[in-house]
Homo-oligomer: A and B are copies of this chain.
């Protein structure tokens, strides 16, 4: 019944409880940018997959789940998103999802890792599907927070914050703080919508998720409506959490029929975020509610989140 390992594996540690050994059928490409190491490889069932710093980022199996969650609730909530900003978003798939909305006129993606994007453009076309070449797209390689700080009053309709988790000393640590969220609020228009990936939404490591929720909820003037939601990302082996913060529109008030109407009107096809499923995604399990009570706190530049190494 017991058996031993033979083959090639990439090991990712998910808390001290468990390590995942992904079977690597084929290594397609590996390298290193100024910011991170990367591997593109074939994993059984997952198919083509990207790992950054030995953390699985996305796989052909269900990249649509993550990227629809990242983009579609915010895009759909806004009644007429024309001007969109994607912070981070390396593979170009968050951008792809935003561009599906025919009403979008300008999409700016700000990702600091130019080398990674160049690699992605060439080697991960299944993800970006030409989004980088869309005439509506502007691609910038600079620090997203710094750039957004200069966009106060620009009136973005939607900002999608698809950034790596905030490890201590890492490039994204100050992109999960109240100050950053305020910069986003200032760059949004009066009915602007902000969405962000917010880490694990399982019972093992809910800390980032509840801290993001607590922080955004503390900003009632900037964002009267805040709601956490999650997508079931098989590749991550857990539900993955997101936050939606909105100036004018309440995501929980968005009716199934209206979602259906908007997606149809804008020519958007989805596989995970469907009108029927919207409400379920925004219904958090009790353990996340309990975890917020126990571990929620306002993240600031002075006291940012620090992932336990």
Contact = CB atoms under 8 A, between A and B. Distances in A.
Interface in A193-208: 202-204
A17 B7 contact: no
A203 B19 contact: no
Contact-size category for A: 35 or more
Interface string A251-288: 00000000000000000000110101101100101110
A58 to B, nearest CB: 13
A119 to B, nearest CB: 16
Q: How many copies does the complex hold?
A: 4
Contact of A234 (B6, B27, B238): B238
Contacts of A287: 62, 65, 271-272
Contacts of A23: 2, 4, 16-19
Interface string A1-35: 11111111111110111111111101100100000
B24 A46 contact: no
A45 B204 CA distance: 7
Given A9-B8, A23-B4, A276-B283, A234 B203 contact: yes
Interface of A: 1-13, 15-24, 26-27, 30, 37, 39, 43-46, 53-54, 61-62, 65, 202-204, 232, 234, 237-239, 271-272, 274, 276-277, 279-280, 283, 285-287
